Structure 1
Amino acid sequence: MKRNRALARGLSLALAIPLAGLTGASTARAATDYQAEDAAITQGTVATNHTGYTGTGFVDYTNVKGSYVEFTVSAASAGPAALTLRYANGTATDRPMDISVGGTVVSPALSFPATTDWNTWADKAVNVTLKAGSNKIRATATTANGGPNLDRIRIDAPTDTQAPTRPGQPSCSDIGENGLTLSWGASTDDTGVTAYDIYEHGNKIGEAPGSSTSKALTGLTPNTTYNLTVIARDAAGNTSPASPVVDCTTRPSSDTTPPTRPGTLSATDVTANSAALSWGASTDDRAVVAYDVRSGTTVYKSVTSGTSTTLTGLACDSPYALNVVARDAAGNVSEPSNTVNFTTKACATDGGVPSSISTLSSGWTIPWGTYWMPDGQTALVTERDDFRVWKVTKDGTRTQVGTVPNAVTTNGEGGLLGVAVDPKWASNHYVYFMHTASEGNRVVRMTYDGTKLSDYKILLQGIKKNRYHNGGRLAFGPDGYLYASTGEAQTPDLAQDKDSLNGKILRMTTDGKPAPGNPFGNYVYSYGHRNPQGLAFDRNGRLWEAEFGNSSKDELNLIKPGADYGWPICEGSCSTSGMTNPKATWNVSEASPSGIAIVRNVVYMASLRGERLWRIPINGDNESVGTPTAYYVGTYGRLRTVTKVPGSDQLWLSTTNADNNGNEPDGSDKIFRVNIS
């Protein structure tokens, strides 16, 4: 199988995505609340001396004619809208107001009669017409009594839900050492393209206005291949499918002189998990930009300032042979320093550590999901791009049991992804898959009789897809409900929309309905996720999750119902109110995590770009973790899925070196057995 290989916010009550499929309609209705205390107020005050209001207060109009509150309202497209004003009038006197839009009165002297008392709130509705973009809506008192107390307004306006078309084939020109010009075919949209986002292997590296079809990319590395796609975006935040891919290679640098060899490297203060390193400075005809601490040619850490560092995350009771090389901006690398040898100190016994690794099974092509049958004797394993499902025994023997119909690839990270087996499989024979389909990502159910798959049934669809950021992990919780991780489909704003299925952890019944007790009354269990792929429950029934960062920090999170994990407002830890910080973070070069598993109260996290298995101990039964340490750094390539073996302190660990980032041929992936002791 041939593959492409290469390197201000309103309180939105946004439209729910259809769960049975896409409607194809270009507009729908969405309600947005605007609090009066946040609007422009003339001759009135923000008050809190009554009850029943929403937000942080309400506006008490001054008792004069002409006092007003003016709201700035945004509409994705022009058209009629329903305007509802929430008010209280504790007098027996009507307090009429003129309602104007853009300076034009659309409802003169609209009546606001008594509401019994000042703690009783009522709604007054009026139809208005909005223009696309910003609108000024003003409620002005028309008598000397002033207006009523005004809590908020609600706009039920047309919302654009039609995505732009896919941009045309990109191409590169003006290619230099550190930059190039990327051009693409224009996208079209019913309301107009406002921007184009440029991605390199799923990470956004730039954007251009919707009126442009080219962008000069700067700050690139010489003699490097960039795998580029373009996504169109409209004013409502709808995004197109990713454009076709173009691979562009920057020119070799005119600077061919490498830095000098670094001075003597030494190691001190060696602990079980760290060592302090220092070395002599290198020189360069232009400038040294970084020192790479390496084992052989595997980079453990890059140091951009100074000639010393403390190397953390080392495996305990393990030998290390490290050197340092200097790099300049052109990518020229010095000769390595001397090699320093040391052995980290003994391991702590609590939780255990990886003690041995061996090949369980070979000949795989992008094995993505692994899930054990309830009897603990065999596991089901999916292959992402071939849509095949295999039964694998504990000795590594594998037998194909079928394929999942209607699955398609995205030429990126979509395809046949997670698998989960019903805890009651012995009585119902149900297994569950998440896969990419023509219209988006789906959660489906099939019947598995122990030999073959049949009876494909869609449980949930309408999960937006894109080339990258499709999530895909499935897991059953101790509560018997099915949990699914979904990416934001390269549309970051979806992660914050609680009515969207994207950028979430979803929780559902085995019939595909929202699980009882979900925090928002829909499928959403947690939100604010970018591309979550690791799910595992600890001994206390708590859900842990790992997800890809963009360019800064990857995350390990402890998931709580209804919590917001920050994306795209935060990447890694931040101080923004309402955001839940991760329990551990990594530089994206050290992790890019996919699957996780828990053995003896320790989280094991498989890393793709980082090419290592991270060990993260949970601190007893607390909500914190200890120092992460890394195993097998650079030894086995891109590590995708890690799964606990039932009934033993053992893991299965799979690679995806045959994917579009690994550049290895089909059949080169493996599943390893890791013993914990």
Structure 2
Amino acid sequence: MRRVPLPLVLAAGVLLLLTSCGSSRADDGDEGRMPGAPTGVTAQAGSATTVHVMWNAVPDGTGIRSYEVYRGGTKAVEVPGAERMVDVIGLRPSTAYAFTVRARDSAGRLGPPSRAVRARTPARVAADRSAPARPGTLTGHPVGSRAVQLAWGASRDDRGVVSYDIAQGGTRIHSVGGAQTATVVTGLRPGTRYVFTVRARDAAGNLSPASAALRLTTPGTDDGRATSPTGFTAATHRADGAYYLDLAWDPPEAGGVITEYAIRLDGSTATSLEWGGDPPRGRARYSFYLGRTAGEEHRVRLRARLPDGTWGGWSAERTVVTGR
């Protein structure tokens, strides 16, 4: 975990989730069952040596601990249960591959494999340092309150475009094939403003400049309560003559991995918390320096940067006094 010292001005705001990265919650009656096979699995070559695999969340009463992605009969990669996509790397150019995905629940039980999906990596292009041209105008419109449809002009490359990367808020959220110039993004929040861009990728992995940004707002309203951290507590402790603020909370159920939080102190001073690697699963905890004076009152709250690239709702505000 990387701790960022106070004060730090927060920059304006994994992963946004698409059709193949949706989430759902199991009914209580599912407890005790082996997890089912993932659905909505897709595979798309991202370069001559990588394939991007995505899938839907598996409902399970006990919780999904991880997903295992198989290349043929060999496990290629395992990701935490909150993730719904991964790049399988180290592949051979000009090779056809079949991928399946299996879910493992918190009890350690491994579910059946998904249907197999196939992708073929393109030929390797030697000494290609020329990036594709910027994609054409990006357009789109909301499709209901939780999805948008996007389309863009094809990019040009001297040796061919292999894939397009779609980003939201600066974070890559999806990849589609080089012959595809449209997609539907789902898993969004009602009444929320989004910023999308598209970049083209060639077989050597060279990326084009990003397209012009497209700003869309989904219809409806969202008061943020469903995306707020819950069970938020704050306390102080003293060590080596200084006081520290101790925070604990349960991450919101956002259908993906949350790696960053904004912490608001006394209504104006803010610090940023970002985990490297795997973020905590379940209840999270964080402490930071307040000062050496006893009897100081502080107000604190926090919010998460959601997998769709937007900020969620603020937690309840807590008040602490150093030395008490």
- The answer to whether the superposition gives a TM-score over 0.5 is no
Give the TM-score normalised by the residue count of structure 1.
0.23
Give the TM-score normalised by the residue count of structure 2.
0.43
Higher relative contact order (CA 8 A, sep 6+): 2
